[in-house]
Amino acid sequence: MATLPGSLLPGSIVQEPTNYRRSPEISEFERVTYPFDARDSAAPASGAKADTQPVEELRISHSGDYLPSFVGDWYHRIHLIPARIDLGNVISPVERRLEVWNAYLEAHTLNAIEATATDGLTLSGPPQPPLDFGPLQTRLYRFTASSRGAPLIDARYTFRFASGLVAVLPVTGRRVVVFGIRPNWAAGITERLEWLTEVLEAHDGTEQRIRLRQMPRRGFEYGFLLEGQDARVLDHLLFAWGGRTYCLPVWTDIAYLAEEVRAGATALQVQDAANSDYHPGGMAVLWRSVLDNEAVQVLSVAGNTLTLNLALGRSWPAGTQVFPARLARLDGQTAVRRPTDTIAEGRCRFTVEDLTAPAVSEPGPAYQGYRIFDWPPDRSEDLEDNWQRKLAVLDHGTGVRGYDDESGTAQMGRRLAWLLPDRSQVSRFRAWLAARAGRANPAWLPTFESDLVVTRPVATADSGLTVRNVGYSHFVAGHPQRRDLVLRTTAGVFYRRVTGADELSADEELISLDAPLGVTVAPAQFLQISWLELARLDQDAVELFWETDQVARLQLSTRTLSS
């Protein structure tokens, strides 16, 4: 124990003043006389310190427990990161990184990696087991899946450690094969979109429509004509993969590589991507021949640039065809005719498996709560109207037959056809069809006929039209299903509702409108006056017939509703 020298500083004499608050008995001080007696003052006194440091503590033992925390989630276990690998559709070699982390604070030895169902899969990187994992040590493995191998990937990797620890990595995925059999354009390609609607019709003809499918089903049908090597490839493509999912190029949405794209590139330049079937997460096919093609996955689409999620495995020369692609399955039988021993001719029908929601847009002016579809049909084939009544016939066989017109109105069905001359028009029409969703959603549809003929000029403030007598006031007189007009004039297009009609003479009648036209229009300026009908499609399935990769035809039947 250390002994340190110390001293006390001298103090001064304490000389208190008289304190009157003290009792006289104890405040009597004796006067100090000079010189001091040494005993009267505190002299500096020196002392020694006995160092007691360090101080011993009284130690008590307790028992305790740890409060669990996130540390238990992170540590004291073996982590495989990611915990499972879903390869999705393997259309080209895929590489993933696998991290094996010994999150124990002590070392563990990896004894073996047991693998099952690993056709076409490889795990590489660190040395073969037995392999020591130090405390908190992490090792990176490279996991690759080639596009050759079993069609369904369902593999398991079991990491067995010496201490009995086991970590399991499930790997799932599918392999996709490109159906590179190109169409024979002589017969075009049919694209089919199928919505599903339940229509509940009431006694009076009004109806409730319930949309049953969120996304339309989609299918393609086309013919092919192959010769030689290609025909033989077709055989084996059908033989091996007929029951599985193909990667089907959307043959109608063709684009070309303007210049060579080298191996390792992660972007492709295409044409008219906006009107093609590319979408993020979807696929594209680079195509040169039935066997010489490659499927790639599209990460994002910006303008005409497709960004791929993996670099291209090889170079593709300028002029290579590029198609968007869909996962599709062969539907029904595929009949192949063999005119000679090297020629194969047939048709194949596909249903698309990776559906995406189509773009929805509804052009045209709004009118009375719905949009007007003002897209004149193609009359290269005759349009056709058909008139139906919800007419119940009561026939007991013995007496007079009775009739009951249940709804009291005619239902007008129409068959209309359109010719869409380019891809942007097809896209617009497709978006309008998506807005209809089959039979679900109605729109205003003009009859596209010349239904009325104006006989006198219409002044700015006139709220009526004088037309040639067609018996409107006599027969129809503002019936809810026939009271809206589209007036096509050289001064503009007007949409008006008829509020009344009067027969002026045997030749003329006056149609009153809900609002004046606002301009003066002479009879000769009227180009066409058609009735507007609130109508829905009378079919859930729509077929787009592609004559070429630009031109498509389609035919729709419609049916009026009471507005």
Partner 1 sequence: MAFETGTATDYRDLLERFRAFLTKNPALVAANQQWTELRWISTDAGQQLLLRAPGLAGAEEIYCGIRSYSNPTSGYYMWDLIGSIGFNPANGFTDQPGALTGWLPMMSLWNAAMPYWFVASGRRAVVVTKVSTLYEAAYLGLILPYATPGQYPYPLFIGGSMTGQRGRNYSTTGPNHRHFVDPGDDGQNNGNTAAMLRGPSGAWLPFQNVAYSSGEYRYDNARIVWPTIYSYLGNLREAPDGTYVLTPLVLTQWNSGSDHDLFGELDGVYHVSGFNNAAENLIKVGGVDHLVVQNVYRTSVRDYWALRLA
- With binding defined as CB under 8 A, does residue 5 bind partner 1? no
- Does residue 3 touch partner 1 according to CB under 8 A? no
| Contact call for residues 309 and 299 (beta carbons, < 8 A) | yes
Residue whose structure tokens are 């993933």 = 96
Is residue 159 at the binding interface for partner 1, with CB under 8 A as the rule?
Answer: no
Residue 48 binding partner 1, by CB under 8 A: no
Measured CA to CA in angstroms, residue 158 lies from 83, 117, 142 at distances of 12, 12, 16
List the interface residues with partner 1, window 89-108 (CB under 8 A): 99, 101, 105, 107
CB of 82 to partner 1, least distance (A): 11
Which H or E run contains 330?
strand 321-330
Beta carbon of residue 164, minimum distance to partner 1 (angstroms, whole number): 20
Rule CB under 8 A: which of 123-142 touch partner 1? Answer: 133-138
Q: In this chain, which stretch among 7-15, 51-59, 215-223, 507-515 interacts with partner 1, using CB under 8 A?
A: 51-59
Cβ proximity to partner 1, 20 vs 66, nearer residue: 66
Q: What is d(CA 500, CA 234) in angstroms, rounded to the nearest whole number?
A: 67
Nearest to partner 1 of 44, 54 (CB atom): 54
Among 43, 60, 335, 461, binds partner 1 (CB under 8 A): 60
CA 127 to CA 140: how far, in whole Å?
11
Q: Rounded distance, CA 549 to CA 247, Å?
A: 19
54 binds partner 1 (CB under 8 A): yes
- Smallest distance from the beta carbon of 123 to partner 1, in angstroms? 18
Q: Choose, by CB under 8 A, the member of 20, 34, 66, 387 that binds partner 1.
A: 66
What is the closest distance, in whole angstroms, from the C-beta atom of residue 62 to partner 1 in the complex? 5
Question: 143: which strand partners?
Answer: 96, 123
Q: How many residues bind partner 1 (CB under 8 A)?
A: 34
Residue 31 or 62 having the CB closest to partner 1: 62
Applying CB under 8 A, among 63, 340, 398, 505 the residue interacting with partner 1 is: 63
| Interface of this chain with partner 1, residues 428 to 487, rule: CB under 8 A | none
H/E element, 428 = helix 423-436
61 binds partner 1 (CB under 8 A): yes
50 touching partner 1, by CB under 8 A: no
Q: Contact 88/147 with Cβ under 8 angstroms?
A: no
* Cα distance between residue 368 and residue 533, in whole Å: 11
* Residue 261 near residue 385, CB atoms below 8 Å: no
CA 327 distance to own-chain centroid:
15
Phi-psi label, residue 120: left if phi above 0, alpha if psi -120 to 50, beta otherwise? left
Task: Give the residue from 270, 241, 265 showing the smallest Cα distance to 254.
Answer: 270
Kindly state whether residue 83 participates in binding partner 1, applying the rule CB under 8 A. no
Closest listed residue to residue 526, CA positions, set 449, 427, 457, 442: 457
Residue 107: CB minimum distance to partner 1, A: 7
Rounded distance, CA 139 to CA 256, Å?
44
Interacting residues toward partner 1 by CB under 8 A: 2, 51, 53-55, 57-67, 69-71, 73-75, 79, 81, 99, 101, 105, 107, 133-138
